[in-house]
Amino acid sequence: MPALETPNGSVPLLEFRLRLAGREWSVLHTEPILTHADEQRYLNERDTRPPYGVALWPAAIALAHEIGARADTMRGASVLELGAGTGLPGIVAASFGARVAQTDRNELVLSVCRMNGARNAVAGVDYRLADWADWHDAARYDWILGADVLYSDAAHSHLRQIFETNLAPGGRVLLADPFRAVSLRLLESLEGDGWRVSLAKWSVGETRRPRAIGLFELTPP
């Protein structure tokens, strides 16, 4: 397996394989963050860990499964993935015929995302370095995707602006989140302003206590 060169040294990349709908995808990542304990340990390694976008998070796995379950809605659709990280959800969407823009603000993370796109030979993917707080994309998309992107109150106003301005008429937002309290505050605010918020649940992990992930579909007023 290849290694990722980071400011803190070389980090080996691991392989994750996702199988669904009779297909298989393979993405490289630095480590899986599946349990609460994994997450706490990882976040405590602030000075030595690689960017969190190159780890494999359970929300990305759940979102990829949800996209696979909605494969028919992806064919020919325009898709914006926010905080793409390893790129798994957008890769699955592109495999089912979507035109995907994968964005991340970290250049190192985006390089892994691009590597994983090539690894899966997906077509129709545009890779963009982009910051939610300094957003310049005026395009409209049928779907806006995000896996565990609501973790910061400071980002909520920027994300809301993107949702409101970058959705095409009839478009929807699909977010995967491990029921973080901070995330629910934004979802409740959107619902209070007339957005329709529907919820599906996935469980990720093979331990006795798998991680519960919410799949939130947002429809604007």
Residue 37 lies in a domain: no
Give the per-residue pLDDT at 207.
67
Give the per-residue pLDDT at 42.
85
Question: CA 151, CA 70: separation in Å to the nearest integer?
Answer: 25
Write the CATH number for 202: 3.40.50.150
Residue 26 lies in a domain: no
Residue 135 one-letter amino acid:
W
Residue 6 lies in a domain: no
Residue 107 lies in a domain: yes
Q: Please write the tens of the pLDDT for every residue from 61-99.
A: 999 999 999 999 999 999 999 999 999 999 999 999 999
Q: Structure tokens of 179?
A: 């029921």
Residue 91 lies in a domain: yes
Q: Which residue ranges of the chain lie beneath pLDDT 70? A: 1, 8, 207
Residue 13 lies in a domain: no
The answer to whether the CB of 77 falls within 8 A of the CB of 143 is yes
Number of folded domains that form the chain: 1
Residue 162 lies in a domain: yes
Residue 25 lies in a domain: no
Give the per-residue pLDDT at 8.
67
Q: Please write the tens of the pLDDT for every residue from 106-115.
A: 999 999 999 9
Give the per-residue pLDDT at 10.
83
Find the domain containing 109 and state its range.
57-219
